[in-house]
Structure 1
Amino acid sequence: MTTAPTQAAVPDPEARGLRLVIVLLMLTVVSGLIDAVSYLGLGRVFTANMTGNVVVLGFAAAGAPGFSVPHTATSLAGFLLGAAAGGRVAARVAQGSRRLWARLTLVAEAALVGVSAVVAFVWPDTTGTRYALIVLTAFAMGLRNATVRKLGVADLTTTVLTMTLTGLASESRLGDGTGHRSPRRTASVIAMLAGACPGAWLVLHHGLGIPLLLAAVTSGMLAVVTSGRE
């Protein structure tokens, strides 16, 4: 009596590469770099953190010194256009491979931020450069945020920490929970600091091009190695 040969297990292509949790934490580092560039180098405007940007727009509209309505409005518009593009991409590819979807978005982000780095190196300190960098980085962050929202990985928005910090405190052992998600939330806060601190130092001492290039290279590397699993 013979038995049928056992079929070899087919490797899951979605499982190849870094888990999305690690990728999103690294993208949180990139967000810290981007907002260091935009807030410190582009006139107190955010291009990743739109919560802060809405508040900044209010400051600028009230005439507070050091803030610009045109810069902030441009950032908001660029972000919204990027988010709309991200939603359109999600509608087309979200039912397929998460790995391919994430990689496409990261390639686009790396390209947009890479172009912004080139602009910062070639045409530093001009009005046109400021607007170009605001549009390019805000569009990239909108595209990414739309994708991250659709992917739905808990506690990792990559750009906003308000609800992360709220959950960290309210669901801790001091609050009403067990703190089982505290490591992920804490890692997200640390990741943002890990991008913002060196990003600020680079902007203050070496200009805008180097931190933008670092952000672009990081996003590009993540595009190559990310998987579709959480």
Structure 2
Amino acid sequence: MSADSSEGAESAEGTPAYDREARGLRLVAVLLGLTVVSGLIDAVSYLGLGHVFTANMTGNVVVLGFAAAGAPGFSVPHTLASLGFFLVGAAVGGRVAVRLGGGSRRTWARLTLAAEAVLLGASAAVAFAAPDATATVYVLIAVTAFAMGLRNATVRRLGVPDLTTTVLTMTLTGLAADSRAGGGPGTRSPRRTASVVAMVAGAALGAWLLIHHGLGIPLLVTAVMVAVLAAVVSGRE
């Protein structure tokens, strides 16, 4: 019997057979790493692409309202482009989940994260090649928003509690409402706290890299980070 066909079975001695899903870094750690990436992406998009978010769509909907009201520094076309490409990416991610979600979680996560890494790498290449071109802003918004939509659809279907990787409103609500001070058990506080810290760290790193090195370097960092996570992710929470 091959290693693949024996997955999940038991050996003749009664010990568990090799489990490919357990090989690699657990999903909780990977999703925390992706939360850092989200902070980086939103720092780049908001500070470097005209006050638009490409990972945090909650903020983007609010920004769209600002732009529609004529508030200075905000752009309706930029925000609509981000929302539109995010939705397209999420739709593609949903299709991928239907196709791959019934099989190995490890394979599914690896493929979608590898696709995200390629997209972010392409964004970095565009930023390095033509940092001052008018079209560059739209290309970076479109590609990063599509990548974030693809990832969000995947993370949603994976269903790891309290780790959405891009939004923290419910995470913060859970921290307060389920804490001992709020009358709850406080059992998920470490994971939720880690998610908040990861987002802040990513945003701070992204802002610093953007201020000192321009658009290309922080986008390259996100591509490398996601590529590493794709290579080491397991299928276990």
223, 230, 236: which one pairs with 1:223?
230
- Counterpart Cα distance in 1 of 2:18 and 2:139: 44
Question: Identity of paired residues, percent?
Answer: 75
**CA apart distance, 1:8:** 5.6
Aligned to 2:89: 82
Q: Following the alignment from structure 1 to structure 2, what is the Cα–Cα distance between the partners of residues 78 and 72?
A: 10
The correspondence of residues 10-25 of structure 1 with structure 2, limited to 5 A, is 10-25=17-32
- Aligned mate of 2:13, from 6, 10, 20: 6
Deviation for aligned residue 1:175: 0.2
Structure 1 consecutive aligned stretches of length 4 or more whose deviation exceeds 4 Å: none
Q: Which residue, out of 98, 106, 112, partners 1:99? A: 106
Aligned to 2:175: 168
Structure 2 residue aligned with 1:56: 63
1:117 lines up with 2:124 in the alignment: yes
Alpha-carbon offset, residue 205 of structure 1: 1.3
Which residue pairs with 2:186 in the alignment?
A: 179
- Give the gaps of 5 or more residues in structure 1: none
Give the RMSD, CA atoms, in angstroms: 0.8
Residue identity matched to 1:160:
V
Residue-pair matches, total: 226
1:6: Cα distance to partner? 2.2
Matches of 1:9 and 1:59 in 2, distance apart? Answer: 57
Match of 2:44 in 1: 37
Mapping of residues 175-214 of structure 1, within 5 Å: 175-214=182-221
**Match of 1:214, as an amino acid?**
V
Tell me the distance in 2 between the aligned counterparts of 1:144 and 1:12. Answer: 25
Distance 2:28 2:71 in 1: 39
Q: So what's the TM-score if we normalise by structure 2?
A: 0.94
Deviations 1:172-220 (A, max 9, x none): 0110202110000000000001100010011111101000000000000
Q: Which residue of 2 aligns with 1:127?
A: 134
Amino acid at match of 2:61: V
Distance in 2, matches of 1:80 and 1:167, equals: 26
Alignment CA distance shift 1:229-1:71 (3 Å): same
Q: What TM-score do you get using the length of structure 1 for normalisation?
A: 0.97
- Mapped to 1, the partners of 2:191 and 2:21 lie a distance apart of 22
Structure 2 alignment gaps of length 5 or more: 1-11
